[in-house]
C-alpha cells in the first residue's frame, strides 16, 4: 500500500530487551501517535490503560479505525514510564469537539469553596459569640463585685430612671382605672335591673304607681349616665394602655439595647487596657492592634445607641405630655359632670373627644339573621 496504516507505523517503534522504549525515541513516539489519531476520534475508540509502573503491564491499546482495512486485533505498545505518565495525564484533559461526553476516571477530588464556606462561617460566628459572651459576662461580674469600672452618662441615666419610675406609676393608675370601670359597670348593671323592677311594680301596684314610676325613671337615667361615664373611662384606659405598653415599652427596649452596647464597650475597653499595660513585643502587638479595632467598633455602636436613646426619650416626653393632657381633661370633665348630674355636659364631653358609645344589643344579630 502507498500509505501505511496508523497501526503499522506505531507498531514499528523499537523497544529494548526489557520492554521499555529507548529515551531517544520518546518524542518520536508522541508525534507519531498524535498523527495517527484522525480528527473527531472519540474516547470510545481510543483507550489509555495504566495498570501500574512496575513493568508488569502497561501500554496503549489502539482500537480499529473505521477506515482501516487492518484486522480487528489491536496492538499493544509498551512505552516507557515517563511517556505513560504523560499520556495518562493528557487523557484526563481531552476535549471532545463533536459533542461526545468525556468521563474523568482519575485525578484528585477538590472540595469547592461554596461547600466549605457555610460551615466555616458558622464556626466563626460561634467562636465570636462565645468570646463576646465571655467578655461581657466577666465585665458584669466585675461590676457587681465592685472591681470593674463602668461608663456612666449621668444625664441619660437620670432620664432612664425617671422613665422607669413613671412607667410603674402609670401602670398603677391603669390598674385603679380598670377597677373603677369594673365596679361602675356592675353598678350600672344593678341600676338598670332596679329600674326595670320599679317599672314592673308601678304597673302592678296602682296605689304606688307614681312612686314606683319616679324611682324607675331615676334609676334608668342614672344607668344611662353611668354608661356614658363608663365609655369615657374605657377610652381613657385604652389611650393610657397604648402609651404605657407600646410607646414607653418601645423606648425601654431601645434602652436595653443601649445597656447591652455599654457592657460590650466597657468589656472591650477593659481588655484593651489590660493589653496596653503588658509588654509590647512581636507576639503582643498584633493582639493589641486587633483589640484596638474591636474596641473602636463597639465604641461606635455604643455612641450610636446612646444617641438613639436620647432622641427617643425626647420624642416620648413630647408625646406623653400631649396624650396625658387630653386624657386627663376627659377624665376630669366626665367624672365632674356625672356626679353633678349634668347630663348635657357629660354628653358634650364625649362629643368633644369623638367618643361613640355602643348601644346595648347593637352587636346582637336580628331574629332574621338567626334563622
Assign 3-class secondary structure to 45-107.
CEEEEECCCCCCCEEEEECCCCCCCCCCCCEEECCCHHHHHHHHHHHCCCCCCCCCCCCCCCC
Kindly write down the DSSP assignment for every residue of 233-261, as one continuous string: HHHHHHHHHHIIIIIIHHHHHHHHHHHHH
12 vs 239, higher pLDDT: 239
Across the chain, mean pLDDT equals: 74
Q: Which CATH superfamily groups domain 173-350?
A: Arfaptin homology (AH) domain/BAR domain (1.20.1270.60)
pLDDT (mean) for 205-223 = 89
**Rounded to an integer, what distance in angstroms lies between the CA atom of residue 219 and that of residue 211?**
13
Task: Determine the pLDDT at residue 191.
Answer: 92
**Rounded to an integer, what distance in angstroms lies between the CA atom of residue 345 and that of residue 337?**
6
Ramachandran region of residue 30, left (φ > 0), alpha (ψ -120 to 50) or beta? alpha
User: Which residues make Cβ contacts (< 8 Å) with residue 101, sequence separation at least 6?
Assistant: none
Task: Determine the pLDDT at residue 242.
Answer: 93
Task: Determine the pLDDT at residue 4.
Answer: 44
User: Residue 232 in contact with residue 355, Cβ under 8 Å?
Assistant: yes
**Rounded to an integer, what distance in angstroms lies between the CA atom of residue 267 and that of residue 256?**
17
Task: Determine the pLDDT at residue 98.
Answer: 44
**Rounded to an integer, what distance in angstroms lies between the CA atom of residue 225 and that of residue 187?**
12
Q: What angle, rounded to 10 degrees, do the helices at 284-339 and 209-242 form?
A: 160
pLDDT category, 58, cuts 50, 70, 90? very low
pLDDT at 16 over 60: no
User: Which residues make Cβ contacts (< 8 Å) with residue 37, sequence separation at least 6?
Assistant: 6, 46
Task: Determine the pLDDT at residue 328.
Answer: 94
Kindly write down the DSSP assignment for every residue of 20-53, as one continuous string: -B-GGGHHHHHHHHHHHSPTT--TTTEEEEE--S
- Segment 143-152 long-range contacts (CB within 8 Å, at least 24 positions apart): 143/266, 148/266, 148/270, 149/266, 149/270, 150/262, 150/266, 151/262, 151/265, 151/266, 151/269, 151/302
Task: Determine the pLDDT at residue 185.
Answer: 95
pLDDT category, 76, cuts 50, 70, 90? very low
Ramachandran region of residue 40, left (φ > 0), alpha (ψ -120 to 50) or beta? left
Three cell numbers, residue 130: 462565645
Three cell numbers, residue 363: 352587636
pLDDT (mean) for 260-284 = 85
Which residue's entry shows cell 508522541? 30
pTM (whole model) above 0.85 = no
- The domain ranges of the chain are 173-350
Amino acid at each position: 500500500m502507498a500509505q501505511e496504516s496508523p497501526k503499522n507505523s506505531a507498531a514499528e517503534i523499537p523497544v529494548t530487551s526489557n520492554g521499555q522504549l529507548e529515551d531517544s525515541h520518546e518524542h518520536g513516539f508522541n508525534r507519531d501517535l498524535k498523527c495517527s489519531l484522525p480528527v473527531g476520534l472519540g474516547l470510545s475508540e481510543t483507550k489509555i490503560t495504566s495498570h501500574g509502573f512496575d513493568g508488569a503491564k502497561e501500554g496503549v491499546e489502539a482500537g480499529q479505525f473505521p477506515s482501516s482495512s487492518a484486522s480487528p486485533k489491536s496492538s499493544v505498545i509498551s512505552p516507557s514510564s515517563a511517556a505513560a505518565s504523560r499520556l495518562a495525564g493528557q487523557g484526563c484533559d481531552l476535549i471532545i469537539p463533536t459533542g461526545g461526553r468525556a468521563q474523568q476516571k482519575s485525578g484528585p477530588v477538590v472540595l469547592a469553596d461554596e461547600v466549605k464556606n457555610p460551615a466555616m462561617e458558622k464556626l466563626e460566628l460561634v467562636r465570636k459569640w462565645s468570646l463576646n459572651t465571655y467578655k461581657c459576662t466577666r465585665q458584669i461580674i466585675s461590676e457587681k463585685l465592685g472591681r470593674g469600672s463602668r461608663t456612666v452618662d449621668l444625664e441619660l441615666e437620670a432620664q432612664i430612671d425617671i422613665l422607669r419610675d413613671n412607667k410603674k406609676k402609670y401602670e398603677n393608675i391603669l390598674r385603679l382605672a380598670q377597677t373603677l370601670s369594673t365596679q361602675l359597670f356592675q353598678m350600672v348593671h344593678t341600676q338598670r335591673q332596679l329600674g326595670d323592677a320599679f317599672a314592673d311594680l308601678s304597673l302592678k301596684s296602682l296605689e304606688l304607681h307614681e312612686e314606683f314610676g319616679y324611682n324607675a325613671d331615676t334609676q334608668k337615667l342614672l344607668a344611662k349616665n353611668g354608661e356614658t361615664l363608663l365609655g369615657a373611662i374605657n377610652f381613657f384606659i385604652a389611650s393610657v394602655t397604648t402609651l404605657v405598653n407600646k410607646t414607653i415599652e418601645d423606648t425601654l427596649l431601645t434602652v436595653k439595647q443601649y445597656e447591652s452596647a455599654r457592657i460590650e464597650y466597657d468589656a472591650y475597653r477593659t481588655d484593651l487596657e489590660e493589653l496596653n499595660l503588658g509588654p509590647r513585643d512581636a507576639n503582643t502587638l498584633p493582639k493589641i492592634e486587633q483589640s484596638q479595632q474591636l474596641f473602636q467598633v463597639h465604641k461606635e455602636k455604643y455612641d450610636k445607641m446612646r444617641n438613639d436613646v436620647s432622641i427617643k426619650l425626647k420624642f416620648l416626653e413630647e408625646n406623653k405630655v400631649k396624650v396625658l393632657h387630653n386624657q386627663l381633661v376627659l377624665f376630669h370633665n366626665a367624672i365632674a359632670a356625672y356626679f353633678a348630674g349634668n347630663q348635657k355636659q357629660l354628653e358634650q364631653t364625649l362629643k368633644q373627644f369623638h367618643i361613640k358609645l355602643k348601644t346595648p344589643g347593637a352587636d346582637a344579630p336580628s331574629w332574621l339573621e338567626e334563622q
